[in-house]
Amino acid sequence: MNGETVNYAASGLLSFLILICVKQLLKTFFGINAQISAAAGFAAAECAMFLLQKFFVFKGNSLSSLPKQIVFSVINAAVHLGIFSAVSMVSDVMGMHSYSSWLCSFIIVLILNYAVSRILIFDCYLPADKFKNGRIYKVFFRNRFVFLSMAVSLILISFIYLIFHNFPFGDTTVLRMDLYHQYGPLFSELFDRVTNGESFLYSWTSGGGSSFLGNYFNYLSSPFTVILFLFDRKDMPLAITAIVAVKCIVSSGTFTFYLRKSLNRHSSASAAFGVFYAFCAYFLAYFWNVMWLDGMIILPLTVLGIENIINKGKCRLYIFSLIYILFANYYIGYMICIFSVIYFLAHYLISENTSVDAKAKTPHVEKLSLKKIYNNRFINRGIKFAFSSLIAGVLCAFFLLPVYFILTGSSATSDNTPNGFETYFSLFDFIETHFAALETTIRSSGDDVLPNVYCSSLTLLLVPLFMLNKEIKFREKAV
């Protein structure tokens, strides 16, 4: 692995994305014939690939002339088209979906094209391992175990999809329960409204009509929803299946990133814990509540943002993460807000410096001032935390307030607030939920309501080691 191969992989992924985007843009938004749209997308991707390789991947390492590069690139594009046609025919015989053939073609082309481009098209004279100083390579190398955790998660979710014949390995989808009869139709309606340029304010598709804006911010406002538009209208179930997989993969990356930045742990072990997090019982139980999965993605960044406020006095990451989750799903967002307050207090207690400034420790009495009060570390960090939360709330008010008034008129908010506390399980039942092969809890009613907290048995086995470790302070264990 070196700078050249990393740049090549990045340019290949970008070119494939250009192909899909151009094809869908022309087909869906402009109504152009599917074959013409695919041809235009293919041409755009090949042009992008050539330019990226010339000015980015093999820049300064080419001996061939521009005319030669163009001629061989055209021939290479014809070969790529042949590979796509061959894979499509095999896919049709095997009964695979067209999207699967596109994906297989891309993987084959990406593997074979590197040597062809390096040797025949650009005639590179320096070995690839000489290039290790590129910006993208440095970012990749710093976060190599973040990408490793995401790659392992991709393999695991692909294996799960393969077992259940899910897209792209079959026609089965992840549509279950509310995702099948409620969220799925809403995703389709969103697709129609965007492609047809319709308003988001009101919908006549349910009963006598209802607010679509409330449904949008309740179910559809995640930035990952844009993946819908990479698919055709008839393939919305496949698009939703892809969204679930992507959110699972990204959540493993954000947790591994948190471990790197917060605990300075960056190894195969941190990548493993990222995978544990991505496939925890919460994901297994609630993957069909696809809008809730954004909470899994952003929670590690929210925690890291709180730690940055306490340890460094920096608020930007916390503000960004809070705005993201409030926009993506306010329902999970307000729970993360409650968690943030609790975690702020907990992390402050276990942080190394929890006392006031050194000047405040002097034995003689000093005149109290606003500056001195503000310099108190707890007050200073608490003000920054509260102010950051307020900024995030104000920036999100333009949609939170309309949604609040919309929801106050719905039947789902007509229940009374509980008047007391009730226990649904014992301590031993809670410990039992940390073991593997336990059936997840999907509904919050019945006699077997248990929290979905499993994230590998290893985490449970590490608890005694944590409590017995003498290098960990008692204060941290207590908190």
- pLDDT tens, position by position, 167-180: 777 777 788 777 88
Mean pLDDT, the chain, as a whole number? 82
Scored b (16 or more CB within 10 A) or e, 301-319 reads: bbbbbbbbbbeeeebebbb
Under 8 Å between Cβ of 283 and 317: no
The pLDDT tens digits of the residues spanning 108-120 come to: 888 888 888 888 8
Q: Which two tokens stand for residue 413?
A: 């908010």
Q: Evaluate the omega torsion of the peptide bond into residue 168 and state whether it is cis, within 30 degrees of 0.
A: yes
The pLDDT of 157-176, averaged and rounded, is 81
Confidence of residue 353 (pLDDT cuts 50, 70, 90): low
Q: Single out the residue of 212, 190, 398 nearest to residue 290, CA to CA.
A: 190
Q: What is the pLDDT of residue 350?
A: 84
Q: What is the pLDDT of residue 275?
A: 92
Q: What is the pLDDT of residue 337?
A: 92
Query: Does position 235 have pLDDT exceeding 90, yes or no?
Result: no
The pLDDT of 355-382, averaged and rounded, is 63
Q: Single out the residue of 323, 273, 315, 275 nearest to residue 298, CA to CA.
A: 323
Q: What is the pLDDT of residue 284?
A: 83
Confidence of residue 359 (pLDDT cuts 50, 70, 90): very low
Residue 219: partners with Cβ closer than 8 Å, 6 or more residues away: 182, 183, 186, 291
Percent of the chain past pLDDT 70, that is, above it, reads 88
Query: Does position 238 have pLDDT exceeding 50, yes or no?
Result: yes
Q: What is the pLDDT of residue 367?
A: 60
Which segment of 181-195, 264-278, 324-338, 420-434 scores lowest on mean pLDDT? 420-434
Query: Does position 356 have pLDDT exceeding 60, yes or no?
Result: no
Query: Does position 425 have pLDDT exceeding 90, yes or no?
Result: no
Under 8 Å between Cβ of 273 and 300: no
Angstrom distance (rounded) from CA 322 to CA 325: 5
Query: Does position 329 have pLDDT exceeding 80, yes or no?
Result: yes
Confidence of residue 256 (pLDDT cuts 50, 70, 90): very high
Burial of 391 (0-12, 13-18, 19+ CB in 10 A): middle
The pLDDT of 227-239, averaged and rounded, is 87
Q: Which pTM was predicted?
A: 0.85
- Which position has the token pair 């009964």? 95
Q: Which two tokens stand for residue 402?
A: 């309309």
Distance of alpha carbon 47 from the chain centroid: 29
Residues for the chain: how many in total?
A: 479
Distance of alpha carbon 91 from the chain centroid: 30
Angstrom distance (rounded) from CA 298 to CA 318: 10
Which segment of 100-114, 201-215, 333-347 scores lowest on mean pLDDT? 201-215
Most confident of 87-101, 273-287, 413-427: 273-287
Q: Which two tokens stand for residue 152?
A: 């392992």
Q: Single out the residue of 283, 333, 245, 247 nearest to residue 453, CA to CA.
A: 283
Q: Which two tokens stand for residue 435?
A: 């073991």
Confidence of residue 390 (pLDDT cuts 50, 70, 90): very high
Confidence of residue 418 (pLDDT cuts 50, 70, 90): low
Angstrom distance (rounded) from CA 52 to CA 324: 32
Q: Single out the residue of 327, 334, 325, 328 nearest to residue 300, CA to CA.
A: 325
Neighbours of 72 (CB within 10 A): 18
Q: What is the pLDDT of residue 358?
A: 45
Query: Does position 139 have pLDDT exceeding 80, yes or no?
Result: yes
Burial of 351 (0-12, 13-18, 19+ CB in 10 A): middle
Angstrom distance (rounded) from CA 252 to CA 300: 10
Confidence of residue 360 (pLDDT cuts 50, 70, 90): very low
Enclosing H/E stretch for 323: helix 316-328
Q: What is the pLDDT of residue 321?
A: 93
Most confident of 86-100, 189-203, 377-391, 394-408: 377-391
Query: Does position 355 have pLDDT exceeding 50, yes or no?
Result: no
Query: Does position 445 have pLDDT exceeding 50, yes or no?
Result: yes
* Helix/strand/coil for 294: helix
Q: Which two tokens stand for residue 440?
A: 């997840």
How far the first Cα of the chain sits from its last, in Å, is 42
The pLDDT tens digits of the residues spanning 277-310 come to: 998 888 888 888 889 999 999 999 999 999 999 9
Under 8 Å between Cβ of 328 and 222: yes
Angstrom distance (rounded) from CA 22 to CA 36: 11
Query: Does position 394 have pLDDT exceeding 60, yes or no?
Result: yes
Query: Does position 252 have pLDDT exceeding 90, yes or no?
Result: yes
Which segment of 81-90, 194-203, 348-357 scores lowest on mean pLDDT? 348-357
Angstrom distance (rounded) from CA 292 to CA 328: 9
The pLDDT of 348-369, averaged and rounded, is 58
Angle, nearest 10°, between helix axes 377-408 and 330-350? 170
The HSE-up count of residue 144 (CA atoms within 13 Å, CB side) is: 10
The pLDDT of 118-139, averaged and rounded, is 76
Q: What is the pLDDT of residue 412?
A: 59
Which comes out higher in pLDDT, residue 122 or 292? 292
